[in-house]
Structure 1
Amino acid sequence: MYTEPWNIHIADEFTTPAFRHAAKVWVPKKPLVIVPSRMIDASAPVYGYGEVQEGDNDLLSRPDGVPMGEQIIVHGRVTDSWGRPASGMLIELWQANAAGKYVHAHDRTPKPIDPYFTGTGRTLTGADGEYTFRTIKPGAYPWTQHREAWRAQHLHLSLSGRGLSERLVTQMLFPGDPLIDRDPIVTTIPDEKARERLISRLDWEAAIDQIAIAYRFDIVLGGMNATPVEH
């Protein structure tokens, strides 16, 4: 009902002399320059454009060896501000290994690389917004700008919707970690309640007996109880 008047209004705006003058000023005069891919630094893992496969959420499953560290299950639900499940969302995970080392050229900390651990995984949320990962508990690592500041143990989680603009990145912390209060990223969040929403909770029902402890981390998209995101 409101579409036609809105479109007519916009069309009228585009025909004004001011708009035509601006268009002449801002239209590119030279051909576009293609930037070589090697000059673009990706700050997050690149998973390719293939479909999510079974086992992409299992960071422990490798044919050549088992990663070092404490095996854990991470699971939860993604919902909107009304509690409705967000199904079919792509969740990408990346993290440091058990020693606090990333598989990334920019991580120059003197810590060992685990040859059996890539630190990356992905999955799609189910009909109820649920997701699951099998991985290892990451190690803490120093924040080089201050000797008493360390990054607490954490996982990075990227959530993507049906469009490129529908993406947010958050982090999951672990309960009882004494470094949370000194974490230079977490402490930038002024709201204490919001910081607490980044902390997962133990979930013994989802644990694998004698093998893996489970942590539950529910993610809320928007609203007063939204999970804090990186900007």
Structure 2
Amino acid sequence: MKSLSRRKLIKFGITGGLVGAFTTKGSMAKALLPPTPAETEGPFYPVTPQDDKDFDLTRVQGRDGVAKGKYIIVMGSVLDSHGQPVSQATVEIWQANAKGRYRHPRDPNPAPLDPNFQGWAIVLTDENGEFRFKTVMPGSYPASPTWVRPPHIHFKVSKKGYAELTTQMYFPGEALNETDLLLNQKKPSERLLMIAKKRGPSETEALDVYEHAIVLKQKS
């Protein structure tokens, strides 16, 4: 496998942590990519079994309906600290629906459930360390009487030889990012690594595309 190009690293917005990472000829040197910051798993990690955990969260296997909300595409890349793609990594994702409600029995949010929203997926990265899924823009929701969480997607990423990572991906331009208690516990440089880059729309489906890179630590 080859290291990602400088252009692709810039696209994912992760070159800021590379000090002297590129030679004058543009090739990757030995500087390491900063790891994606870890984040709490949260109280709504899926506990209800389901067969459908595929790349399309806007449909549920066995149902004719489709999820409500604004459809988006999330395109991700899993890398090691040297910029090498991590193929066949397990990427687990879960999120609230468009109204900010999780498919979780203990979610106290009075917002309605969406029976046609999958809510949870487990996918593998391809040979280039990439994954892609279709979902809805998650809604914000109250975490306490004084705290409203911004739209975000939970990730748990694992691969033999790497430290398992649980993190969250945020969306650019969201006003609630500025007041989120979890996101603002991070350093400014770390926040940048947790906020996706908006691209698009998708040429095939005319949907907004969000790109996000996840960097794993190799076990010593």
TM-score > 0.5 by shorter chain = yes
Write the letter of the residue equivalent to 1:122: I
Alignment of 1:45 onto 2:41: no
* Superposition deviation, residue 57 in structure 1: 1.3
In the alignment, is the contact (CA less than 8 A) between 1:143 and 1:184 conserved in 2? no
Alignment of 1:198 onto 2:194: yes
- State the partner residue of 2:22: none
In the alignment, is the contact (CA less than 8 A) between 2:69 and 2:136 conserved in 1? yes
* Superposition deviation, residue 118 in structure 1: 2.8
SS at match of 1:113: coil
Q: Which has the higher helix share?
A: 1
In the alignment, is the contact (CA less than 8 A) between 2:71 and 2:137 conserved in 1? yes
- State the partner residue of 2:211: 216
Unaligned runs of 5+ in 1: 1-41, 224-231
- State the partner residue of 1:162: 160
Runs of 4+ in 1 over 4 A off after TM superposition: none
- State the partner residue of 1:13: none
In the alignment, is the contact (CA less than 8 A) between 1:69 and 1:98 conserved in 2? yes
Aligned-residue CA RMSD in angstroms? 2.5
- State the partner residue of 2:116: 116
- State the partner residue of 1:35: none
Of structures 1 and 2, the larger Rg is shown by 1
- Distance in 1 (CA, whole Å) between partners of 2:73 and 2:180 is 23
% of aligned pairs identical? Answer: 38
Unaligned runs of 5+ in 2: 1-42
Asked which structure has the greater RCO (Cα within 8 Å, sep 6+), the reply is 2
Write the letter of the residue equivalent to 1:187: N
- Distance in 1 (CA, whole Å) between partners of 2:139 and 2:59 is 20
Q: How many corresponding residue pairs?
A: 174
* Superposition deviation, residue 46 in structure 1: 5.0
1:1-231 matches, cutoff 5 A: 44-45=45-46, 56-62=54-60, 63-144=63-144, 146-147=145-146, 149-162=147-160, 166-189=163-186, 191-204=187-200, 206=202, 208-210=204-206, 212-222=207-217
Q: Deviations over 1:60-98 (max 9, x none)?
A: 233420100000100121101110011110001100000
In the alignment, is the contact (CA less than 8 A) between 1:207 and 1:213 conserved in 2? no
Distance 1:124 1:44, change over 3 A: same
Q: TM-score, length-normalised on structure 1? A: 0.69
- Distance in 2 (CA, whole Å) between partners of 1:205 and 1:213 is 4
Q: TM-score, length-normalised on structure 2? A: 0.72
